[in-house]
Each structure stands twice: as structure tokens, then as C-alpha cells.
Chain A
């Protein structure tokens, strides 16, 4: 394993921490950056997909003869062209680029036309005749549990249950029985989608030597590369995937897409470039977004508000395919114990298949849902115990370098500072509970991983690798498989290398996201890029510096380890007058050692948990956030206005504060939009129109999201306490700041009008319904009323570290108890 490069003993940085124009800022501002659909090649053809009008049906026959004969059509593909299935996770290889025997949701692709232009391809789609035999539709988790038949897939736990699991860390029932109070609450979080501004697009072509090239809007070129080799049944070395700059991803471009295999196959068959761009409606079907999750929390509390134990149960509506589902299922619970001290924890989770577009990872992947439930429940607990919620949170934050009951190592934490900061910024003490009727403040906290500790497919290889190449011109080229989604990964890469070599980031050329040229990075997901790519980059840079220092030391009349790199110069630490330019240093080194290059790579540290399933949740570091939201609620309409949000985020070290602040505000925006309006919801068509289960709002007009007019001012505090596992101490910022927003909104609504909305999104109709209940003297709450009987398995029992556990499962639990 590669030890991460420790932060340099520098007390002052040249580049890190200073606001800068991002390295790709100019190209974006002049419209020169080429996204996938901006690419054009000579003799390029266009592909369109035929999608199922049925939510669940057997394909009895497909007649493509009329489409094939249509003028301008070059190729028509069906599922017959794709015998090999795929799926982002090795345990869920349940998708085909085009459906073979079965369609599983309205929008499932069944055939593809490749034609001279999109118009012709669309015409030909109309000429394809598919005979379907409809099957019963599974529309919800409740229906999935009640109807094991028809099975949507012939694999999984049983019936329509995809994944089903249970973990218990210490005897939770015993702890609950001894608690002063036990709170039981149900929450529901509706699904929602990423809605990136850029629709997915892909261009496949054959390079001059006949190798396949796929340029595509993907967050994970490496995983896609592996899946292409599998589905197309050709050697991976014959395939090159270029991740074009993504026009937003948010998790929606993590899964390999049907369309990517289709254009790749078509280009191979036709020997011509083939492009596809999904329509906005199709993007809603591609989905892979936030799972709808029903949750039940039973939480034991001592009189002073300290947690004694928690039993969390979750039920995920997975949609029609596996996608990242096995990981998503874990994430609806595994990060729950990271924020507050929790002596015992039990977590049951179940994911079912339904006839809807598949759910997957969206910003926060599986964790926003339980965070919402947990933080709203804590607000209720504080209210019942007469405690200030901010003080209650502060009193129980996890300690640095502690272990959770579930054996996650917390590492550095700035959560207490975050809470203190938002309390101060928002005037919490003077204003919470005191703003008068219709106005309120709510607080919530959260945490997120800085990269998943384990790869999506099991291996012992590095998670990220960086190659540096220098030449006598002074140019530094940095190669890495990491992909730019807009989050600024190229800027992070440039900044880190620039700082380590003491040069201007503008002198660095980034070559990223290209499996044909760059060393592997696993992808832009799980907030892993800054830390994993960053540590790999620092290792490569340290090796380059070693070569340069060895080459110049003599001339600078110093020792190699006393050579300083700063501001495009190298000099002796003792005698800064002994100096030369960075370019001269490179030339000297090149003359002495030959071409100057180095590689670096990074693997996360081994996690302390050893039980089966302990691989999900560990991370080299965790970021923390605390957020206060102010709301105004109109008692007549239920309309919620948010005038202001304060957020503090424990980032370790901001590399470029402009981008860091942008990520925080962007996360807050997305969280607020989810809290108030976003929902990927479904309805049945009227019987005269087939009764099919269809997406209710597959357009940007009907799928509501916050506009510029709806967005409040956000006041951001970056809490900087460098984390030793992270490059120059920098933790993640892409996902964490979204997480506390939804519960803070719900808690602020309660502070404003005294009602609890235990369900996301919090739309005016729900607020109004709760206000009406309150007026009638009923329990002023809107949210789920019951939790179905889920056949969770016997838990894997693990003793927490403080109960004598060793991180392994305790097989003979009863015997141990008796002893």
C-alpha cells in the first residue's frame, strides 16, 4: 500500500487556499469547452432508441423489417445484438443495452435505429413493430413485498426483494429497554433525480488503427471501459473511453448507459461514427437517482439527551434494475453513527424491485434520507426534553479518531466547530423559538465520506493514479483518469501539483478522463477525487521533486533535501540567493537523468471493521456540516419561503476557496430544492389509456426545481483544520453540504408553525394539511403512518469496540449472552 504523502511542512502556500480562476474557467466562459454532443465527425450517423410503453411486459416479437427498409436507415439493433448483461456492480449484472425478453419500466429501451440524421431515425422508430404481453405491474415497495410474483428479476433475495440485510452492533433491545425514553418515528423521503443541465450524449467511432473510441458524458470512464469490454466481448485494450467534460453529473452519469453500448456496437458494425444524445424525457428514464426510502427510527435517549441506542429500518424502492442498489442499501444506514456518539446501533435495510426507472446514486448516495429522519427525530427529542437542539447536538458529537459502534474510524472532525459557527452566524440563541408566528429557525448536522474505502469491484489495486511528465520547456503535463463534472477536479489536480512543485497552476496541462492515455482513477463519485487523486498527485510530485532537487543541489550549493520550490523558482533554503528558475531546474535534471517523469498512486487505508459488509462506509476521512435554515410559512397557503441559510462545512483545507464555496452553495441549493419540491413521482394512466405506470413529470417544466428567483442567500463558513489523510489536509465538499439542509428546513417549519412534516418534499399541501390537523387539535404531523412487515434476516451481530469486540461478527450470540 502507498502511504499518503503527508502535508508539507509549509506554513505558507503559494497556490493552495487562494481564490483563483479555475483552470477550465476561460474555456467555459467563451463557449469553447466541447461537451459530448458538441463533437462532430465526418460521416457521422445518429442513433435513437425505441422505448417500452409498458411498465412490465414480455416481448413476444419485434419486427424491424420496415424500419430497416426506411430510406436513410443504416442499422436497426434489438436485444439480439447484446447477449451479455451488464451492471455497475458485480452482484447486479441485470441489464442489457436493449431488452431481450422482458421490459421492466415505461422507457426501457427495446430497439435502436442508426440513420443519417435524428429525424430519419425517429421516423424509423415508428416503423418498428413490437408485440408485448403485459405482466402485472409492481408499483411500490408495499406491492413488491405483497407480490413475490411476477418476479421482475429472477435473482435477488426472494420474490421482488433485491437486497435484504441486517446488522446489529451491541444488544440494541437491551439498551432501549434501559433508556429513559424511546422515540419511535417514521419518515419518508420521495425519490428525485439529478437533472443535470447536459443530457447524456455519446459519440462512438473507430480510430485509425481500428480501435473503438467512445467519447461520452460519464463520471466513471474506468467502470464503463470494463463493462464495454464485457458486453462487446472484446479486449479492453482495444477500447478507449474518453469522459468528455460533463455538464453536471450529481451521480446520474455513474452507471453505464444503454445508449453507450448501442452506439459503440453500431460504430463497430458500421465502421462509421455514431452519435446519440438523449432527449430530456429520456434522461428522466435513465435516472439512477435518489431512492424513495421509508424509514423507521427507534431511538433510546437518556434524560440529558444523550443517545443510548438506535434501531433503524429502511425500505428502498429500487426501481427496475440493480444499478448501485446494493451499495445504496448499505448507505441508508452505515453513516448514521458517524455524527453523534451512539453506543449501540441496529440497522435493517431492504431494497425491492419495482417497475420504474432504476434508482442509484445521487449526491449523498443513500445518506440524505436517513440523515433527514435522524435530524428531525433529534429535533423532536430536544423539544420533548426541553433542550436547545444546538446544545444537544454539540454535547454528543463524535470525538476525533474515535470508532463508531459499527467500527468506522471517524478521524478528524470539525463538527463541533461547525455547530458553534452556524449558531453564531444565524443568531440562533436570540432567534430560535423567538421569531414570532410563521417564522422559524431549524438546525441540522451531517457527515460524508471523502471517498469510499473499497472499489466497486473487488481488487487490491490503487484507487487512483497520476503520471507527471516534465520537459525542458518547463511544461508539466499531468495525466489522471479522474473526470471533470464541473466540480473542479482538473483545478484540484492542477492546484496540488502546482503547490508541490512551486509553479503556477497555469503552467500545468491536465490530461484527464481518458482510458487510452491516462492512468486509472476509479471515477468521480463518493467524493473521492480530491483525496484519492490528490494523494496520488502529491506522491508523483514528490518523486519529481526528488529528481529535480538531486539535479540542482550541487549548483545551488546545498543538499537535495534543502532545495525549496516556490513561485516558479528553486532555491536553497539557507541561501535563497542561490536560485534558478523552475525551467532551468527541469533542463538540468533532464540533462542529468534523461526525461523527467514520475507516477504516484493511492489506496485508502484498511478499515478496522472485519465483518462481512464492513467494506461499505469506511473512508480515509469524513467531512462534517452544520446548517441553520430560516423559514417563513404562510398559514393560509402552506407556502414555505426560505429567506436565508447559514452553513458551516468542515473541509479540512480549501484548495481554491472560490470553488469550495461554490460547491457548498450548490449543495445547499440542491438540498433545498429536494426539500421543497423535487420529486420523481409516478402515476397510472387512466384505464382507457392502458393503466400503465408512468413518470408523472418527465420534463424540466413539470419536474420542479428552484430557480434563481427562489434561491435564498447562503452564508458559508469553511472550517479549516487540515486532515492528515488528505492532500494538504483537504476534505471533500461536493456532497456533504447538501445533507443537513432538508432536515433543517423541516425543523425550521416546526419552529415557525409548530407542525411536523416527516416527509420530503415538503410541499405546501402537506404543510396546509398539518396546519389543519393542528387547528382541529389532532397530532400536527404529516408523514407515513405505518411501516410494512419486511422479512429482514437475522442480524449479523458485532460487538462495539467498547464492549470487547474485535471487529468480527459474533457467531454464537446466544451462547455469548449466556456466558
Chain B
């Protein structure tokens, strides 16, 4: 079976990876780079748990071949915090119940980040819509919306 060697930029760092060409971005992140913060719930593009950002846009990494990501900027949950300091979304999810079992959390965080990057002050309806491709079985979503709203406020306040 063919293995390919490729440069992959993840969280601002360039990695040289060697992998079977059929592998998805999800598999390469988790299995080749050990970035297991990105989860899988179906590997069929149905649950959103594997969402990462590619060139700033949320993308289901279980449906994307890693081969297609050469030269693109991949961001995962591991790259969200600024050193030890949590991203406001991460802090809000941890503090306000946005994360219960934590399994959908990475996908939620990355999808929410893309939303807040585009729209710093989204309405509740916009948040619901943006996260509608990310399933969560624990929270009933409400504390996730509240976390995103709190993070949006914190981000706006941080920016002069």
C-alpha cells in the first residue's frame, strides 16, 4: 500500500508526516501526530466531534483526506490555548458547564471559534445555527450556548 510523505502545518508548526494515502486528516492528526484532542464519533461526517479548522474554516476531519491538506493551515484544540492561558472559549466551557463528558468539546470549541472569528457578537440563534452540525448528548446545548456567549463577551472586552 502506498505511503506518502508530506508536510502538514498544524497549530503553526510544520510536521513531516509519512502515512498511507487513504488516511483522513483525523487519522493523521490522531495516529501519526498523537494529537488525540480531536475526537471521532462516527467517522461518517454526521456528528461534528472531529471538527478542526482548516485555513480558519471548520471542517470535519473525518471526511477530509490528509493529502488534501498540504500547504493549508490546520488548527486543532491543542493549539487553541495561548501557552498555559486558556482561550476564552475554553475557560467558558470549563466554567459554565459547556463541557460535560468532554467528548464533543473539541469539535464544539473549534466550530465556535470559527464563528467568533467571523462574528464577534453573534445572537443566540446564530450560535445555535453555527453549532447545529455538532452533536452533544450530555448538555442539552444550553450551557454550550451560554459558554459561547460568555466567551464572545470576554473576547470583545479584551479587544480595545
Interface residues of A (CB under 8 A from B): 21-22, 24-35, 37-38, 40, 119, 194-199, 245-248, 250, 279-280, 485-488, 658-659, 661-662, 665-670, 699-701, 705, 707-709, 711, 713-714
Complex Cα distance, B128 from A666, in Å, reads: 16
Tell yes or no: B138 within 8 A of A by CB.
yes
- B41, A30: Cβ atoms closer than 8 Å: no
A275 to B112, CA, bound (A): 32
Closest 7 CB pairs of A and B: A31-B37, A486-B101, A669-B140, A247-B103, A28-B102, A25-B94, A31-B77
Contact A25–B128 (Cβ < 8 Å)? no
Q: A248-B137, A665-B139 are in contact. Are A30 and B100 (CB under 8 A)?
A: no
The answer to whether the Cβ of B109 comes within 8 Å of any Cβ in the partner chain is: yes
Interface residues of B in 6-51 (CB under 8 A from A): 20, 22, 30, 34-44, 46-47, 49
A701 and B96 contacting across the interface, CB-CB below 8 Å: no
Contact A700 B135 (CB under 8 A): yes
* Cβ B34 vs Cβ A29 within 8 A: no
How far is it, in angstroms, between the C-alpha of A245 and the C-alpha of B78 when the chains are bound? 19
**Contact indicator B41/A666 (Cβ below 8 Å):** no
Which residues of B sit under 8 angstroms from A280, Cβ to Cβ? 41-44, 46-47
Contact B100 A699 (CB under 8 A): no
Q: How far is the CA of A666 from the CA of B141 in the complex (A)?
A: 8
A-side contacts of B106, CB under 8 Å:
31
Find chain B residues with CB under 8 A from A30 CB.
37, 77-78, 80-81, 86, 90
Q: Are B139 and A29 in contact (CB under 8 A)?
A: no
What residues of chain B lie closer than 8 Å to A35, measured between beta carbons?
36, 39, 103
User: Which listed residue (B95, B136, B144, B145) contacts A197, Cβ 8 A?
Assistant: B136
A34–B36 contact, CB under 8 A?
yes
A662 to B98, CA, bound (A): 8
Tally inter-chain residue pairs, CB-CB below 8 A.
173
State how many residues of chain B have any CB contact under 8 Å with chain A: 57
Chain A residues in 8 Å Cβ range of B49: 197
B residues whose Cβ falls under 8 Å from a Cβ of A:
20, 22, 30, 34-44, 46-47, 49, 76-78, 80-81, 86, 90-91, 93-97, 99-106, 109, 127-129, 131-145
B135 touches A707 (CB 8 A): yes
Q: Besides the contacts A29-B94, A35-B103, A248-B100, what 20 more A-B pairs have beta carbons closer than 8 Å?
A: A25-B99, A26-B86, A28-B102, A29-B102, A35-B39, A37-B36, A38-B30, A119-B22, A196-B101, A197-B103, A198-B39, A246-B101, A280-B46, A486-B138, A487-B100, A661-B97, A662-B97, A708-B136, A709-B129, A709-B132
**Is the beta-carbon distance between B132 and A708 smaller than 8 angstroms?**
yes
Known A-B contacts A22-B94, A25-B99, A31-B106; the reply to A707 vs B132 at CB < 8 A is yes
Q: Is the CB of B38 within 8 A of A279?
A: no
Residues of B within 8 A of A669 (CB): 139-141
Q: List 23 interface pairs A-B (beta carbons < 8 Å), by A numbering.
A: A26-B86, A28-B101, A28-B105, A30-B81, A30-B90, A33-B102, A35-B39, A38-B36, A197-B49, A280-B42, A280-B47, A488-B100, A658-B95, A665-B143, A666-B137, A669-B139, A669-B140, A701-B44, A709-B128, A709-B129, A709-B132, A711-B128, A711-B140
**Smallest distance from the beta carbon of B160 to chain A beta carbons, Å?**
26
Q: Which of B38, B47, B78 has the most CB of A within 10 A?
A: B47
Q: What residues of B have a CB within 8 angstroms of the CB of A708 in the complex? A: 127-129, 131-132, 134, 136, 141, 144-145
A35–B40 CA distance with the chains assembled, in angstroms = 11
* Chain B positions within 8 Å of A40 at CB level: 34
Give which listed residue, A197, A485, A487, contacts B39 with CB less than 8 A: A197
Contact of B101 among A38, A119, A198, A661 (CB under 8 A): A198
Does the CB pair B39–A666 fall under 8 Å?
no
Report yes or no: B141 in contact with A700, Cβ–Cβ below 8 A.
no
**A197-B104, A701-B44, A709-B128 given as contacts; is B94 within 8 A of A26 (CB)?**
yes
CB distance from B29 to the nearest CB of A (A): 11
Q: Nearest CB to that of B30 among chain A residues? A: A38
Given the interface pairs A35-B103, A197-B101, A486-B103, the reply to whether A665 lies near B42 with Cβ below 8 Å is no
Give, as a whole number of angstroms, the nearest-CB distance from B146 to chain A.
10
Given contacts A30-B81, A38-B36, A711-B140, contact A198 B103 (CB under 8 A): yes
Q: Which residue of A lies closest to B106 (CB)?
A: A31
Say yes or no: A197 contacts B41, CB within 8 Å. Answer: yes
Are B100 and A29 in contact, with the CB atoms below 8 A?
A: no
Asked whether B90 lies within 8 Å of A29 as measured between CB atoms, the reply is yes
Contact residues in A for B77 (Cβ distance below 8 Å): 30-31
Most B CB contacts (10 A, CB to CB) among A488, A667, A700, A701 go to A700
Contacts A22-B94, A247-B39, A699-B42 hold; do A29 and B140 have CB atoms under 8 A apart?
Answer: no
Q: Which residue of B lies closest to A486 (CB)?
A: B101
Residue of A nearest to B49 (CB): A197
Instruction: Judge whether B142 and A714 touch: CB under 8 Å.
Output: yes
- Asked if A662 meets B143 with Cβ closer than 8 Å, knowing A35-B39, A195-B137, the reply is yes
Closest to A668 in B: B140
Partner of B99, one of A28, A34, A707, A709: A28
Q: How far is the CA of A739 from the CA of B132 in the complex (A)?
A: 25
* Closest A residue, CB atoms, query B31: A40
A-chain residues with CB within 8 Å of residue B20 when the two chains form the complex: 119
Instruction: Please report the C-alpha to C-alpha distance between residue A714 and residue B49 in the assembled complex, in whole angstroms.
Output: 24
**Interface pair B139/A700, CB less than 8 Å apart:** no
Q: Specify the chain A residue showing the minimal Cβ separation from B42.
A: A280
What's the Cα separation between A432 and B103 when bound, in Å? 39
Nearest Cβ in chain B — how far from A702, in angstroms?
9
CB distance from B24 to the nearest CB of A (A): 12
Contacts known (A29-B86, A700-B44); A670 close to B93, Cβ less than 8 A: no
B38, B76, B96, B138: the one contacting A666 at CB < 8 Å is: B138
A278 to B: closest C-beta gap in Å: 11
- Give the shortest distance, in Å, between A605 (CB) and chain B (any CB): 31
Contacts of B97 in A (CB 8 A): 658-659, 661-662
Chain A, Cβ-Cβ closest to B95: A21
A31 touches B42 (CB 8 A): no
Given A30-B78, A197-B41, A486-B100, A665 and B94 touching (CB < 8 A)? no
Could you tell me the distance between the alpha carbons of A554 and B128 in the complex, rounded to whole angstroms? 60
Separation in Å of the B105 CB from the closest CB of chain A?
Answer: 5
Residues of B within 8 A of A667 (CB): 140
